[in-house]
Amino acid sequence: MKFHSIEGDVTVNQPNAAAVRDAIAARFADGNGFALATINLDHLVQLRRDTKFAHAYLAQDFVVADGNPIVWLSRLAKRPVALVPGSELVVPLAYLAAETGVSVALIGSTAEALNGAALALETQIKGVKVVCQIAPPMGFDPESDAAAEVLARVNASGAGLAFLALGAPKQEMLAARGRTLAPDVGFASIGAGLDFLAGTQTRAPKWVQAIAMEWLWRMLGSPARLVGRYARCFGILPALMRESWAQR
């Protein structure tokens, strides 16, 4: 399934959670890094107007569908992919890291959330090793010298898997830069996944997720921040539907 960006097509190249787990397991076995992005409608809006974000996405090794609209559009294109929310990848990938002897780094959010997420992972998963926690300050720039220092710290820690909880486009841009500055590290951009794990943010109830209304639950909880964002997302749906139909 392909989506247009200002710099070229972005492909959802991992059809489901099992496929992305297998792909990452192969990278761990070979000692190679990767960058994983979880695409959603907000990303598609940004990809059509932000050159830097588009460049970062094109540098990602793996892209999965994080949002029901992406899944529905893939079905319209007759190139179906399954829903793989970034926040739901944290625990399975941490299990995989523990099984394969790969250490973990946590980047983003707040020190409180990172401490809570590390404790939750170490409690749930036997053998997982969180060797690096970095909560960058407000205004963190993924293109700055400070970002290069963050990547150097992750590299020096020996971590083979780094969860990035910086939000788009920062986490994807840092992951893309990490492919050059820390090529042996796997970077997974997971949004609020560490906050959910730590309990510093609450995800929508399961029944809300089941009826594909998580976006509404989030918007009602933070209307000032999200109403405009979701309006832009709905605004590009007609074009996306036409483009998906053309891929049939």
DSSP per-residue codes, 55-114: HHHHT-SEEEE-SHHHHHHHHHTT----B--GGGTHHHHHHHHHHHT--EEEEES-HHHH
pLDDT band, very low/low/confident/very high, at 190 (cuts 50, 70, 90)? very high
Strands 62-65 and 34-39, sheet pairing: parallel
Mean pLDDT on 74-78 = 97
Q: Look at residue 239 and tell me whether its pLDDT is greater than 90.
A: yes
**pLDDT of res. 238:** 95
Are 150 and 173 contacting, i.e. CB atoms less than 8 angstroms apart? no
Q: Note the pLDDT of residue 221.
A: 85
Per-residue pLDDT, averaged over 77-102, amounts to 97
Task: Report the alpha-carbon distance of residue 32 to residue 106 in Å, rounded.
Answer: 19
Higher pLDDT, 220 or 42: 42
* Contact partners, residue 206, CB within 8 Å, separation at least 6: none
Q: What is the pLDDT of residue 103?
A: 98
pLDDT at 225 > cutoff 90: no
Per-residue model confidence (pLDDT) at position 101: 97
Under 8 Å between Cβ of 173 and 53? yes
pLDDT at 199: 92
What pLDDT is recorded for position 50?
A: 97
- Of 223 and 196, which is predicted with more confidence? 196
Surface-to-core class of residue 104, CB atoms within 10 Å of its CB (0-12 exposed, 13-18 middle, 19+ buried)? buried
The pTM of the full predicted model, rounded to 2 decimals, is 0.95
**Taking the CB of residue 139, how many other CB atoms lie within 10 A of it?**
7
- Residue 169 preceded by cis peptide, ω within 30: yes
Torsion of CA 12, 15, 18, 22, to 10 degrees: -60
Q: Are strands 186-189 and 130-134 parallel, antiparallel or unpaired?
A: unpaired
Give the pLDDT mean for 162-190. Answer: 97
Q: Tokens 């990172």 correspond to what residue?
A: 114
Residue-wise pLDDT for 2-60, tens only, equals 999 999 999 999 999 999 999 999 999 999 999 999 999 999 999 999 999 999 999 99
If you compute the radius of gyration of the chain from its CA atoms, what whole number of angstroms results? 17
**240 in Cβ contact with 42 (< 8 Å):** no
The neighbour count for residue 51, using CB atoms within 10 Å, is 11
pLDDT value at residue 3: 96
Q: Which SS3 state, helix, strand or coil, does residue 191 take?
A: coil
